[in-house]
Amino acid sequence: MPKLTKYEFTWILDPLLDDAAVTASIEKYAKSVRDQGGEVTLQENWGRKKLAFEMLKKTEGIYAFMRMRATPAIVAELNRILRFDEQVLRTLIVLDEEWEARNLEAAKQAGVRSAEQPAPTPTA
């Protein structure tokens, strides 16, 4: 079995979609990854956000996020499928081997900071 590599996948959906369609989109791509032998470790709906610039005459989009383990062939197939989905405005799939270490380090630093700095006292 080929080695699975960690990826983060973010995509922006048409803002006219309802919650059920957004959930269906997230599940569709998660199922596609799983069916090809990949693993989905996290999937989230980040909600409707204003776009930094207009895309396809839209100023808002619905952001979805997935963290997955996949082979390059799975990622290539996912990109191919995404090109044909008219509900998807933009996609980004990035290789991210160090996300676990980065998140652990950030959690440690946040814990150290909170222990070093006492809680502020209210002033009257």
The reported pLDDT for the residue numbered 56 is: 87
pTM: 0.76
Range 81-107 burial, b when 16+ CB lie within 10 A, else e = ebeeeeebbebebeeeeeeeeeeeeee
Average pLDDT over residues 61-84: 94
Q: Which domains does the chain have, with CATH numbers?
A: 5-114 (3.30.70.60)
Q: In this predicted model, what pLDDT tens digit does every residue of 82-105 receive, in sequence order?
A: 999 999 999 999 988 776 677 777
